[in-house]
Structure 1
Amino acid sequence: MIRLTILMLVCGMVFVGPFAFGQTDSVMWQLQLQSRSIPESGESAQPSLERQSWSADQTALIVCDMWDLHHCYRAVQREEQLLKPMQSLVTHMRDAGATIIHSPSSCMDHYQDHPARKRAMSLVGHEAPPEIESWCYKIDTESAVTYPLDQSDGGEDDTPEEHAAWANKLTEMGLDPKQPWSKQHDGLTIDPASDYVTDQGKEVWSILKSRGIQNVAIVGVHTNMCVLGRPFGLRQLAKNGVNVVLVRDLTDAMYNPKSWPYVSHAEGTQRIIQYIEQTVSPTITSDQIVGGSPFVIQPIAASGK
């Protein structure tokens, strides 16, 4: 009888062990969220760090407007650099159990029969903030800081020769040089079994609520335009109480150094990132999740192509 009791206890331990201590575990990421205070006159905005633990199964990654093509030649070249480290982050987070949302705006027709698009469209019953379907140009927290870039020229930094040659190439491909994109870049994989495809704010909101998402990271382009302003972008999520961050080494701005404040393209991107850290949301770097070092986009050399 004693032997039988011991055997039952051992079997019970073997049965419940993996369920209690293994299967319910989620990957935890220890992140350092960087923010900046609004400085007094004459002072610089110094960064501050906040440590947070993010559970992978409560985290989503949004990939913003990583289109297959763009009207700006140099923007395409910088996007090509972003693909490999961004794909690494997407794969790493997906494998850990995070939710991946691909958001190539105005390209939903291309994905109408894709399982990831149908998955996003199938979610109903989650009430979303009424304004989340619209582009957001500014939120209250931005009022105290001067916007750091003049992007009124559209931010294209091609040389005239580059721009003309690129427009001609797009025309020869049968595309509209002003809007040549049709889908997300093929360098980023969309898992039909688990990912989502949407450019709709309400659908993104439903994804977050239905999956119990507590934390959102955003990668993609362009930092000062789509990443900030889209219905699924930083402003809309931040103002509606989502714990959202920008992955600051996997983004790029649309900024022309011939416009104010007359700094390099890379410096212009850094200034908009710092502005975001002051007024909209914290930032992280991809190496905090995948390891290694933060990614750095290399300057684009002049070309007549």
Structure 2
Amino acid sequence: MGELEIPTWYYRHYDADFALDVPAEAFGGWNKTTLPIRRDKTALVVMHAWDCGTREQYPGWHRVVEYIPRSYDVCDRVLPGVLGAARDAGMTVYHVVRPGGDYFRDCPGFKRAVRLAGPEQPKARRVEHDDTFRRLTAFKARDVFPGEHNRADIAAGQSRIDFPATARPQGEEGVAESTAQLHALCREDGINHLVYAGFAINGCLQTSPGGMVDMQREGYLCSAIRQAVTAIENKETARAETAKEIALWQVALLYGFVYDADDWIAALRRGA
């Protein structure tokens, strides 16, 4: 498969002008140009796309993970087109799942990942936990996240996580529970560029197993589709979704590029 030309967002993070009150305001900022991707070397990675149940079923979970409704909107409106275009174009599709879950273990693509990666190597704890450490972590769980009154709902909801209907693996699409499994799938399939969709762009998609931090360390280019992600927002950022904008800048600066869903779909349809 040859190259496809696709409109691509990048961030020009230079030059600061120290004649200005705020030198960084001279940076080139967001720009868009046309760059190539290769269908045979690029994979769409749908990461942590979950059916988390309803607010009525698990109110405590929804109270602390406020982006769940936005993730459902993305799953309903955006992922079908993004996934459909990739599949129709013959592009590789992977699914990165919640470690320790059961909802994916019968998928053929997960069995392939396990076979390719082999047994997971247990990691020894490197830090000694003393009474002060335990008091500090208990305070965070009680007064930062998630709050004692929400714990039961979160545990109940997470025990019943499933793929959303619009983003279930099809056929032999690879399913990875760990970084080692995703890397093994990529090696087998000849992939070097991962384009992420899923939740959340400033949390799991960067730091969880199979996320951008780990995969970049393995040598991959890691990009994202703007409309196919959402972010963990806080009281101060939620109205304008500022945390998402900052996370997309981090992707463009540190990991890869940012694509618009419409551009992604159009480019792959032309290629198909």
Query: Does TM, scored on the shorter chain, surpass 0.5?
Result: yes
2:222: which partner in 1?
Answer: 244
Q: Does 1:281 align with 2:256?
A: yes
1:229: which partner in 2?
Answer: 207
Q: How does 1:28-107 map to 2 (within 5 A)?
A: 28-39=3-14, 40=16, 41-44=22-25, 45=27, 46-49=29-32, 51-69=34-52, 71-73=61-63, 74-84=66-76, 85-106=78-99
Calculate the TM-score normalised by the size of structure 2: 0.71
Q: Aligned to 1:253, which of 216, 221, 231?
A: 231
**Quick one: structure 1 residues 69 and 58, their matched pair in 2 at CA, closer, same or farther if it must change by over 3 Å?**
same
Q: How does 1:106-255 map to 2 (within 5 A)?
A: 106=99, 108-124=101-117, 153=144, 171=153, 176=155, 179=158, 181-192=160-171, 194-255=172-233
Q: How does 1:292-303 map to 2 (within 5 A)?
A: none
Kindly indicate whether the alpha-carbon contact (under 8 Å) linking 1:61 and 1:218 is maintained by their aligned counterparts in 2: yes
Shift of 1:178: 7.1
Shift of 1:79: 1.0
Distance 1:181 1:78 in 2: 20
Aligned-CA RMSD value:
3.2
Shift of 1:208: 0.9
Would you identify which runs of 4 or more consecutive aligned residues in structure 1 move more than 3 Å? 48-51, 177-181
What amino acid is aligned across from residue 267 of structure 1 in structure 2? Answer: T
Kindly indicate whether the alpha-carbon contact (under 8 Å) linking 1:234 and 1:281 is maintained by their aligned counterparts in 2: no
Kindly indicate whether the alpha-carbon contact (under 8 Å) linking 2:95 and 2:169 is maintained by their aligned counterparts in 1: yes
- SS of residue matched to 1:279: helix
Gaps of 5+ in 1: 1-25, 134-151, 293-305
Shift of 1:108: 4.2
> How many residue pairs were aligned?
227
1:3: which partner in 2?
Answer: none
Question: Once the two structures are aligned, what percentage of the paired residues are identical?
Answer: 16
Shift of 1:91: 1.9
Shift of 1:191: 0.7
Q: Deviations over 1:82-125 (max 9, x none)?
A: 01311221121012111111112125422222212112222258
**Quick one: structure 1 residues 222 and 36, their matched pair in 2 at CA, closer, same or farther if it must change by over 3 Å?**
same
Whose radius of gyration is greater, 1 or 2?
1
Distance 2:174 2:203 in 1: 22
